[in-house]
Amino acid sequence: MAVTSPNLLKPSYPVAGSQASAEPAQFSEALSAWAEAIGAAYVDVASPILDRYGRTTGPRAARPLAVLHPDSTAQVQQIVKIAGRFGIGIHPISRGKNWGYGDAAPTCANQVLVDLGRMNRIVELNSKLGYVVLEPGVTQKQLYDYLQEHAPDWWMDVTGAGLETSIIGNTLDRGFGHTRYGDHSLTTCGLEVVLGDGRLLKTGLGHYENARANRAYRHGVGPNLEGLFTQSNFGIVTQMGIYLMPTPEAFSAFFIAAPRESDLPELIDELAKLRMQGLLQSAIHIANDLRAISGRMRYPWDRAGQTTPLPADLRRALRNECAVGAWNVCGAISGTKSTVAGTQRALQRALPNHRIIFLNDRKIQVAERMTRLLRKLGLCKTLASRLEIVKPVYGLLKGIPSNEPLRGASWRVRDAEPQHPTDPLDCNAGLMWIAPILPADGPIAAAAVSMMEPIYQKHGFDTLLTLTFVTERALCCVSNISFDRRRPDEVTRAQECYRELTERLMKSGSILYRSSPQTMKTLAIGSSGFWDVSASIKQALDPQGILSRGRYEPAA
């Protein structure tokens, strides 16, 4: 990584902010200043590197002007101050694995990327109170391995975004996982943030040097500022505390394969009652058959006669072959042996018409031994198939990260599927997430799904969809358009499908819980007052508009 002539970049100017601008000569000065602040080896302007960071799983993305690789909070502060001095926009990323929501690319043109991947230290572990303090470059795999070695009595919560995704990056976009700590933004305990003018802010009680309950009491005293830095462009988070989950005395995963599409309202309403009572505490995922199938294989082009979306008869056949239901539920029960047993009984009473499979470590081990034995005899193909599906999900429910869920991102890619899951950017996967938040009300959720499916089909795409209880009262409906980025016709149809879905959902009151650069403007639909207040806060914390211009700024 080295500084080369900025003339090779041919950037267009002005660069950042509503008023700020920078000429090419000023940009050259800024590069020199950044090289002095963080080291010339950590300032990249080489075209191949900029092209790599500008890749996207969406239809298009902005290419950065340069990429900076700081090693510390102090270096981030210097980067921000230099950006302000020259009026150059910067966009921070943690690991750049935000596939389908903008990836690693800048939010708009004429921005410099700040890649925080070198800041990958686990700063503190408190094995009595159960928390860790991390930097943005720390990955799910890194923290999992660290806990296995230093604190095996504590679990982390993980997402299905793979081993190398950033914990902080996912949390700041309000991502969610699988355990009872699945709502990540509710389990943070103190942030360290570099503001747009270079000031350093510590939230909670962290700004008191002698605060004994720092990390233990996340609200602090006075205004609770922590939430301001999720889904915003108000600052660069350089450290975060997160809570860990104590290893329970007993643990049981549960799985339901509901055979009928009409089962969805009942599943949601009955599970919601148990969530509200506090009996079920984990995030609960309800995936449709296409979501489950896409995690096992790529689109069967030959069997489908090269047509899309998947023909109904083939969809039913694949459902049987993959041993999945029309709706597939997974969740976890943890606590003492008696509470786990009691909750299992309550779940069976709530859903008497559904077969519920309960799994723990012992049952998984027995099933693996049986599968190995029966495979030698050429038997038990269904058990082997189900075990293949269940094991990675079972691990996620226990806080064990995996790359297996990444397979679903390449559903429509026309190449042969590799043996191991790959980065979606490396296999030409097109991926655009559409994720409305819904009340945990069965008929309302079913109506939203019914509205979405014809739009997907109209544009030739499959409705890959999961409904997740992120809280007791709310479901996140995570769906995605999957396409092959090498096919211009598919890219065009994907854009049209995305536009129609997001507009219909927003106008119907099913508001998106998370946005990509393509839908930032859509967030203004039906909103009153909120984004004006947000803009006022932005002006106070980042008066030059240096940080991630356009990110969660519908009016920008």
pLDDT digit string, tens, across residues 390-404: 888 999 999 999 999
How big is the CA angle at 41 (ends 39 and 44), to the nearest 5 degrees? 110
Q: Which residues contact 299 (CB under 8 A, 6 or more apart)?
A: 308, 310, 411, 412, 462
Half-sphere exposure of 145 (CA within 13 A, CB side): 9
Determine the average pLDDT of the residues in 94-120: 96
The confidence band for 14, taking pLDDT boundaries of 50, 70 and 90, is: very low
Q: How far apart are CA 272 and CA 265, in angstroms?
A: 11
pLDDT of amino acid 24: 78
| Cis amide linkage into residue 64, ω under 30° from 0 | no
pLDDT digit string, tens, across residues 323-364: 899 999 999 999 999 999 999 999 999 999 999 999 999 999
DSSP category for residue 547: B
Same domain, 272 and 354: yes
Asked whether residue 548 is domain-assigned, the answer is no
Asked whether residue 67 is domain-assigned, the answer is yes
Are 52 and 1 within 8 A, CB to CB? no
Same domain, 286 and 374: yes
Asked whether residue 500 is domain-assigned, the answer is yes
Look up residue 128 and give its two tokens: 């009595």
Nearest in space to 304 (alpha carbons), one of 115, 143, 462, 492:
462
Neighbours of 99 (CB within 10 A): 24
Give residue for tokens 């989950």: 245
pLDDT of amino acid 469: 97
CATH number of the domain that 273 lies in?
3.40.462.10
pLDDT digit string, tens, across residues 432-452: 999 999 999 999 999 999 999
Q: How far apart are CA 237 and CA 231, in angstroms?
A: 12
DSSP category for residue 274: H
Helices (H) and strands (E) in the chain, counts: 14, 19
Same domain, 233 and 256: no
Q: What one-character-per-residue DSSP string does 304-357 give?
A: TTT-SS--HHHHHHHHHHTT--SEEEEEEEEESHHHHHHHHHHHHHH-TTS-EE
Asked whether residue 278 is domain-assigned, the answer is yes
CA Rg, the chain, in Å? 24
- How does strand 67-68 pair with strand 111-115? parallel
- The continuous run of DSSP H or E covering 28 comes out as helix 24-38
Collapsing DSSP to helix, strand or coil, 531 comes out as: helix
pTM (two decimals): 0.93
Q: Which residues contact 183 (CB under 8 A, 6 or more apart)?
A: 176, 283, 470, 471
Same domain, 220 and 240: yes
Kindly state the percentage of the chain with pLDDT values over 70: 94
Domain boundary among 246, 273, 307: 246
- How does strand 67-68 pair with strand 43-44? antiparallel
pLDDT digit string, tens, across residues 48-103: 999 999 999 999 999 999 999 999 999 999 999 999 999 999 999 999 999 999 99
Same domain, 348 and 493: yes
Domain boundary among 194, 226, 246: 246
DSSP category for residue 275: H
CATH number of the domain that 205 lies in?
3.30.465.10
Asked whether residue 207 is domain-assigned, the answer is yes
pLDDT of amino acid 457: 97
Asked whether residue 347 is domain-assigned, the answer is yes
pLDDT of amino acid 434: 97
Nearest in space to 192 (alpha carbons), one of 214, 173, 213:
214
How big is the CA angle at 281 (ends 173 and 516), to the nearest 5 degrees? 15
Asked whether residue 536 is domain-assigned, the answer is no
pLDDT of amino acid 417: 86
Q: How far apart are CA 143 and CA 158, in angstroms?
A: 10
pLDDT digit string, tens, across residues 121-150: 999 999 999 999 999 999 999 999 999 999
Q: What does pLDDT average to over the chain?
A: 93
Same domain, 225 and 323: no
CATH number of the domain that 79 lies in?
3.30.43.10
pLDDT digit string, tens, across residues 463-517: 999 999 999 999 999 999 999 999 999 999 999 999 999 999 999 999 999 999 8
Give residue for tokens 């002005």: 14
pLDDT of amino acid 21: 47
Q: Which residues contact 450 (CB under 8 A, 6 or more apart)?
A: none
Are 254 and 329 within 8 A, CB to CB? yes
Domain count, the chain: 3
Output the CA–CA distances (angstroms, integers) from residue 89 to 342, 391, 420, 436, 525, in the order listed. 56, 44, 38, 30, 27
- The continuous run of DSSP H or E covering 201 comes out as strand 200-202
DSSP category for residue 485: T
- How does strand 89-93 pair with strand 111-115? parallel
pLDDT of amino acid 379: 59
The confidence band for 388, taking pLDDT boundaries of 50, 70 and 90, is: confident
Look up residue 445 and give its two tokens: 């959720």
Are 128 and 106 within 8 A, CB to CB? no
Give residue for tokens 């921005």: 111
Give residue for tokens 């854009």: 495
Where in the sequence is the domain holding 69, given as residue range(s)? Answer: 6-118
Phi, psi of 93 (to 5 degrees): -130, 155
Same domain, 101 and 129: no
Domain boundary among 66, 101, 118: 118
Nearest in space to 56 (alpha carbons), one of 491, 523, 509, 512:
491
Output the CA–CA distances (angstroms, integers) from residue 177 to 59, 158, 162, 183, 208, in the order listed. 27, 5, 12, 7, 32
Asked whether residue 537 is domain-assigned, the answer is no
Look up residue 274 and give its two tokens: 């148990």
Same domain, 84 and 107: yes
Same domain, 83 and 146: no
Same domain, 368 and 508: yes
Kindly state the percentage of the chain with pLDDT values over 90: 86
Look up residue 351 and give its two tokens: 């859903």
- Whether 3 shows a pLDDT value over 70: the answer reads no
- How does strand 327-335 pair with strand 250-258? antiparallel
Same domain, 360 and 508: yes
Beta bridge partners of 236: 194
Amino acid at 218: R
Same domain, 487 and 421: yes
pLDDT digit string, tens, across residues 152-163: 999 999 999 999
